[in-house]
Structure 1
Amino acid sequence: MAPRSLNDDTTFSPLQSDDTMSLKIRSFFAIALSLAISFPATAQDEKLELLLNRSPSPPNAMGYVNIGSLNQLMDDAGMSPSVSENVDDFWFISDLDISKLQPKWEAGYATVKQPVEASKLAKRLGGYVDEIANQKVVWSPDQTYFVPGKENRLGMLRPADRSLLTQWINDDRGYNFSSYLQSQSKPPEDYLSLMLAIDLHGAFSPVPMTKKLEGLTSLKSKRPEAVASILASIDGVSVLIGRRGLNECIVRASFSKAPASLEPIAAELLAELMERGGSAAPEVATWKVSTKENVLSLQGPITESTLSGLMGIFSLQDRAQQANNLGTGGSANPSKSEQAAYRSKKYFDDVNKIVEQTRKHSSQTTGALAKWNDARARKIDELGTLGVDDAMIQFGTNVGELLRGNALTVRQGNIDAGKIKANQGLYNGGYYNNSDGYGYDFNSTADYNRVTAAKTRGNAYADYKDALYQIDQLTAATRRTMTEKFQIQF
């Protein structure tokens, strides 16, 4: 039977309260939590609220990923798989820094192919086994706590703050979590490849937002202050990808003020705002828009670069993959040389995967290019290096520096261009006197600004191509060196 659509008659809505439809995903959160952390839970306690209430501190984001389904959709679309098949499902909650789109902390659970034993995981990661409330946990040098559970479930908390983990395991105080996140816990996982929900209530002020909206072509005849008033009333946003295709991506935004007046411009406005924010997703401008009461929905295809950026916000899925990959492959008692070879090869492959994501990303603006490359460099910084050959670590460092260096060059170029444009704004044409005599310059400020912008873009992308060329040279040299050293093909 074909996968059900998110738009079937039984489709959930952000405000749906059907307990039957919400039972499965809410029950799983509770089951995963109770099995991984081993605290008492009764049948009536099996609900998402239990996970939210027992979080280290109040979360503002949560999500679910069905790895097998998402990988299949990406493969069908000719994209690189998202996450290793060693991970089945992944659930998480987080306190997300909205301005930076970086988690302050993350907590979640994954179902993995292989059972995880605490002592073996600690040995492979170079960490140690600790115990909290009679529960064995593993501290990892990459600032992650792992909580091996029953039935191949693996709990994770990042950063590795023991007090946070203790609160998570023992906490019975109960936080007043977001009503928006509670409403988003309703959809059954059977329909989903990916779900992400973020509470944005009170996150934005209409005053600075009005300034940011000025000059946007998508506003057309709309007054910036009127649009800002609605946008700033946002309660939260969810991203949903079904199981039939990547063209079934749905973004739903819930507001306290009716967003119907934004319907004609919503797709173009969102695309333009994302581009200005450095997270360009040009496909959004083609999405279909609809409104119902205080919910605005957009639906359309999602590209690989946009999906990669979305998945890259949170890191726990990579930690789950790393932990499970370390539990597979190789001999039962590998030598130090074999361990170094395996870890170095894994690190090399991970760096190259990040570089490939960088190469495929299509930024519409130089600002988006800088933000993307800086984020990719940060992903390389976060890769585990324990047991990795020193020369390989230096390779990753060099690649990260090249990407980060390009981001800095682009940003500085944009700053310099802004200064030039400001000076050009003081000149609107006029008479001149030089060795050729008198004359009149009819070029407008806009003409000069376009030339300046074109030069800035050209310099930015030239530096970007040069960085990729240097990365290719480094990759080829490192592959030869490591293959010869460990006698396995890198």
Structure 2
Amino acid sequence: MHASTLARKEGWLKKHEAAYVERPIYLPPEAAKIVVAAQLNFADSLDQNWELAVMDMQDPIPMRSIARAEGGYVDSINGLHAAWAPSDAYFVRLSTSVMGVMHPANRQAVSRWADFGRKNTNLVISSYLNQATKVVRANGPQIAMAIDLKDIVLPHKREEYLKHSKVFNGNEQSAERLAEFLDGIQGATFSVEAGSQAAGELRIDFTSDTALLSQSAKPMVLEIVDELGIHLDDLEKWKVELKGKSIILSGTLSSDGMRRVFSILEIPSTKFSELRDEIVTTDSPDTVAQASLTYFKSVTVLIDDLRKYLRSNRDNHSIYSERYARKIDRLPILNVDEDLLTWGSKVAETLRGVALAKRAAGVRTGVRNAGVYGNYSYSYDGNNYYGVRSNSSVRFQNRTEEQAQATGVRFNSWKEIEDSTAEIRREMTKRYQIEF
């Protein structure tokens, strides 16, 4: 990635080594190859049950440096040098040149992971994920993110989607044909090739031929992506191709689009690549000022990116709000002003609150609609019948009321973020006499 024309033109390597600011994806410059894995819960806003990373390090980093900068401590787990971090991650030296990171920081899980690595000689991942590793090539895409989706479809969720889909307009005949097709989804692979610009490809694989989607493939993909809460503006401009049992979308990928899509699955920490032994113990005023400025710009880049996204996707933000809150939690904090760190933590907490309000609105809507039976409700005055009302309008009203409440939370929360950002910017500029 760092050798690509795009990376050289935009100075990605320099940004990676010096700051988080504006870089579209986190890649530690010391690592030659990286594998990140996670278990995503599709029934709960793509929440991660666990995540880990393994990195082939060209320039190994001492565990003591990681522990010192993270504010954690050095540990020894099952014979391996390790460092615990308060960001709820464990760093482990798996071999001289290989480092692992696991989140959450479950010490027993780390120990058993180490045992598994020592004893295992076979590849223990699904065939779909194994095949996806072949996407990354020396002369092809440098990054691939694959999600195993076999047996992921819940029948009642699929029926609900087909019934309310704007693409298929509730057509029962189409729904019957599509149900079996959707149940056969195998996985999705998102790849990026950085040349003079970033080229992206989203490939979705099924067990059946995609020919029946000749007119509706792209609208269906966009609709389902939106349903999941991971809307990506770039996808709307991409071309679509039906190739055998696969739907393939491809096109250029913007920096903020890359930052957004890879926020779904990232390395459990972004701090350690900033470390050098000679920097760890430095806390001069100039060092603190520059580290604080970098931190402030990093948080504001994420705020601006999310604000831009919300302008066109106001009702589709819970996942990215949570992921960006986590990005803030994982920013390098070495030598950063304590007041600035407090502000960053509050911004992350506020973003989580926005996401929680959005999810809670959906839950409350479901509860209220569960009490609405049939297609119509009838009203009587004594013995005199006087009205009938479609229950679809009741359900719509329930959703509108709950979403309005979530919108109010989002509006107030963003005002708090903007006010606190302006305040901390004035304070830091005054304190360090440099422009924040």
What TM-score range do you get, normalising by the shorter chain? 0.7 to 0.9
1:102 and 2:45 aligned = no
- Aligned residue for 1:191? 140
Q: Secondary structure at the match of 2:203?
A: strand
- Post-superposition CA distance 1:190-231 (Å, at most 9, x none): 311421112222222445312222121212556223212111
Aligned ranges 1:226-265 → 2 under 5 Å? 226-244=177-195, 248-265=199-216
Q: Secondary structure at the match of 2:264?
A: coil
Structure 1 pair 414–231 and aligned structure 2 pair: CA distance change class (3 A): closer
Correspondence for 1:82 among 24, 32, 53: 24
Q: 1:123 to 1:336 in 2, by over 3 A?
A: farther
1:326-379 deviation per Cα after TM superposition (whole angstroms, max 9, x unaligned): 228x75742487776566545434322321221221465544134432332343
Offset at 1:470? 2.7
Separation of aligned partners in 2, 1:415 and 1:332 = 46
Contact persistence 2:34–2:56 (CA under 8 A): yes
1:242-391 → structure 2 map (5 Å cutoff): 242-244=193-195, 248-316=199-267, 319=269, 321-327=270-276, 333-335=281-283, 344-362=292-310, 365-383=313-331, 389-391=337-339
Could you list the per-position Cα deviations for residues 51-87 of structure 1 after superposition, in whole angstroms to 9, with x for gaps in the alignment? xxxxxxxxxxxxxxx35649639959xx943146762
Alpha-carbon distance between aligned partners in 1 of 2:70 and 2:355, rounded to the nearest angstrom: 32
In 2: Cα distance, 1:248 partner to 1:288 partner: 12
With over 3 angstroms needed to count, the CA separation of the structure-2 counterparts of 1:465 and 1:132, relative to structure 1, is: closer
- Asked if residue 396 in structure 1 is aligned to residue 341 in structure 2, the reply is no
1:177 and 2:120 are equivalent in the alignment: no
What's the TM-score once normalised by structure 1's chain length? 0.68
8 Å CA contact retained: 1:238, 1:251: yes
Give identity over the alignment, percent: 21
Contact 1:95/1:105 (CA < 8 Å) preserved in 2?
yes
1:210 to 159, 168, 176: 159
8 Å Cα contact 2:77-2:111 kept in structure 1: no
Cα distance, 1:271 vs structure 2: 0.7
CA distance, structure 2, for counterparts of residue 365 and residue 332 of structure 1: 41
Q: Tell me the equivalent position of 1:10.
A: none
| Structure 2 CA distance for aligned equivalents of residues 230 and 476 of structure 1 | 51
Matched, 1:122 2:67: yes
Match of 1:476 among 422, 425, 429: 422
Is the partner of 2:152 in helix, strand or coil? coil
SS of residue in 1 equivalent to 2:150: coil
* Aligned twin of 1:157: 102
TM-score (norm 2): 0.75
Q: Structure 1 71/312 Cα, relative in aligned 2: closer, same or farther at 3 Å?
A: farther
Structure 2 CA distance for partners of 1:96 and 1:306, relative to 1, 3 Å: farther
**Residue of structure 2 equivalent to 1:72:** 7
Contact 1:91 / 1:110 at 8 angstroms: preserved in 2? yes
SS of residue in 1 equivalent to 2:35: strand
Shift of 1:180: 1.3
Whether contact under 8 Å (1:130, 1:137) holds in the other structure is yes
Q: How many residues align?
A: 410
Gaps of 5+ in 2: 12-20, 380-385
Distance 1:179 1:132 in 2: 31
1:201 aligns with 2:147: no
Q: Is the CA contact (8 Å cut-off) linking 1:145 and 1:158 kept in structure 2?
A: no
Give 1:119 shift.
Answer: 3.2
Q: Look up the match of 1:219.
A: 168
For residues 176 and 192 of structure 1, the distance between their equivalents in structure 2, rounded to whole angstroms, comes to 24
Contact 1:70 1:193 (8 Å CA) reproduced: no
Distance 2:417 2:351 in 1: 9
Separation of aligned partners in 1, 2:242 and 2:40: 28
Moved more, 256-265 or 133-142: 133-142
Q: Provide the C-alpha distance between the structure 1 equivalents of 2:92 and 2:124, rounded to a whole number of angstroms.
A: 26
Distance 2:260 2:365 in 1: 27
Task: Evaluate the alpha carbon distance shift between residue 285 and residue 123 of structure 1 in structure 2; reply closer, same or farther with a 3 A threshold.
Answer: closer
User: Are the counterparts in 2 of residues 267 and 286 from structure 1 also a CA contact under 8 Å?
Assistant: no
Structure 1: runs of 5+ lacking an equivalent: 1-65, 431-439
Report the AA paired with residue 426 of structure 2. Answer: R
SS at 2:194's partner residue? coil
- SS for the counterpart of 1:477 is helix
Distance 1:488 1:111, change over 3 A: farther
Determine the structure 2 residue equivalent to 1:53. none
CA distance in 2, matches of 1:235, 1:84: 28
Counterpart CA distance in 2 for 1:207 and 1:344 is 50
Q: Do the aligned partners of residues 412 and 95 (structure 1) sit closer, same or farther apart at CA in structure 2, a change above 3 Å counting?
A: closer
Give 1:473's aligned amino acid.
D
Q: What code does the residue aligned with 2:24 have?
A: S
Match of 2:382 in 1: none
TM-align CA RMSD: 4.3
Residues 1:346 and 1:396: Cα distance change in structure 2 (over 3 Å):
same
Which amino acid in the other structure matches residue 315 of structure 1? E
In 1, Cα distance between equivalents of 2:257 and 2:134: 25
What one-letter code is carried by the residue in structure 2 that aligns with 1:140? A
Kindly state the Cα deviation for residue 386 of structure 1 after the two structures are TM-superposed: 7.2
